[in-house]
Amino acid sequence: MSSNAQLQPAAAATLAQWHGLMQKNDLRALPELLHPQAVFRSPMAYNPYVGAPMVSLILNTVSQVFVDFAYHRELATADGLNVVLEFSAKVGARELKGIDMIRFDEAGKIVEFEVMIRPMSGLQALGEEMGRRLAPFLAAAKS
């Protein structure tokens, strides 16, 4: 991975839209950026969440949970279809740092969104709040 690498134009356009949505803290337009079979890999769950509606629900919810969210660094892969975004945020009194690893298809749609977070206390606070907010939706999705 190199900070000099550039994303392919379609992926770069999608990433610019993603940043715009995050800056406004309004992810209503997120489904337009997602591949229908997009996958979300959570730092709290072993199994991924599949499908644009579920990925959108999770990312919309986490954007409401995070306070003082900010991206700091961006690293792209040489193929121009993957980016790693370093971020920081707060959940309640807990500060956390993390990365979003995003993979795009050739059309620029997000096909995979994986999150890693530290420290454990920040991850636990996020997991508890996300679980509280998403429990009814996740239960319905599993049945």
Q: What are the tens digits of pLDDT across the range 83-119? A: 999 999 999 999 999 999 999 999 999 999 999 999 9
Residue 119: what pLDDT? 97
Residue given tokens 């599993």 in the structure block: 142
CATH code of the domain covering residue 88: 3.10.450.50
What radius of gyration do the chain's Cα atoms show? 15
Residue 2: what pLDDT? 42
What residue numbers bound the domain in which 58 lies?
9-138
Under the banding of pLDDT at 50, 70 and 90, the label for residue 1 is very low
How many domains does one find in the chain? 1
Is residue 61 situated within a structural domain? yes
Residue 84: what pLDDT? 98
- Let me know: does 96 contact 126? Beta carbons within 8 Å: yes
Residue 75: what pLDDT? 96
Is residue 35 situated within a structural domain? yes
The model's pTM is 0.91
The tokens for 10 are 């379609």
Is residue 93 situated within a structural domain? yes
**Average pLDDT score over residue span 63-80:** 96
**Average pLDDT score over residue span 131-142:** 78
